[in-house]
Amino acid sequence: MIDIRRVFTQVEHIHHEFGPRAAEPLVRGAIAAVLTNPFAGRYEPDILPMMELLDPVGVDMAHRLHAAMDVPLEKIATYGKGAIVGAAGELEHGALWHVPGGYAMRELLGWKGDRAAYKAGTVDEKKTGQPGNALSIVPSTKKVGPPGATLDVPLTNINASYVRGQFDAIEVRVPGAPAADEIVFILAMTTGYRVHDRVGGLRAENISKWDGLR
């Protein structure tokens, strides 16, 4: 069922945006895997068996992305994920990526939560003190699109979604994909603050609730 046709990685170093040159550039990376959509061209009521099979795909992609970014793991500050489904598929096929894509990056970044509860959607992370890493929901977008479609993948802090200076998005696009019977699954991570962030709000060093939000 899992048939990966192509893997596309992209890493960018942002030094400035017409303001002061950053002492350390913002590093943003994305990885996209182009898979055959086993459900293309028909309505398949039971698509869940694919979700489980995507777990190792996500983990492998998360590790590849981290390697391509070439930064220490503790520098990864934000994440996001997305999917682009080819024309013979439906949006729901892209939704298969929510659990395995999110889980993969959280696992990479040191999440200590209950995987079974996470998959079941019953996870409760209202805890005090930092109970682990990667507590935030992984923000996502998805769409049905033609080859070369662009997707703006949202990015937020891995431990507190409200860290305002790190709200961002990265445009991801695989030239020539997805074909009608393909899906592009995407993971994205960055080292954090927008290069000239200055609109206030919660700073990462002030995260205190460790509830994934603040």
Partner 1 sequence: MPADIRKLVVQVDETRKEQGQAVEPPTRRAVAIAVIANPYAGRYSENLDELIAIGEELGALLGGKAVKALGIEPGQAHSYGKAAIVGEGGELEHAAAILHPKLGAPLRQAVEKGAALVPSAKKRGTLGTAIDVPLGHKDAAFVRSHFDAVEARVSDAPRAGEIVVAVAVTDSGRPLPRIGGLQVSEIEGKDGLR
Residue ranges binding partner 1 (CB under 8 A): 3-18, 25, 68, 150, 171, 173-175
DSSP 3-state of 187? strand
Closer to partner 1 by Cβ: residue 9 or 133: 9
Closer to partner 1 by Cβ: residue 5 or 126: 5
Sign of the torsion angle spanned by Cα atoms 103, 141, 193, 66: positive
**100: part of which helix (H) or strand (E)?**
helix 98-108
- Tell me how far, at minimum, the Cβ of 68 lies from partner 1, in Å: 7
- Tell me how far, at minimum, the Cβ of 174 lies from partner 1, in Å: 8
- Looking at the DSSP assignment, which residues form a beta bridge with residue 35? 4, 183
As a whole number of angstroms, the distance between CA 147 and CA 186 comes to 15
- Tell me how far, at minimum, the Cβ of 10 lies from partner 1, in Å: 5
**117: part of which helix (H) or strand (E)?**
helix 115-120
- Tell me how far, at minimum, the Cβ of 104 lies from partner 1, in Å: 18
Instruction: Give Cβ neighbours of residue 53 (< 8 Å, ≥ 6 apart).
Output: 1, 2
Closer to partner 1 by Cβ: residue 87 or 195: 195
Closer to partner 1 by Cβ: residue 148 or 201: 148
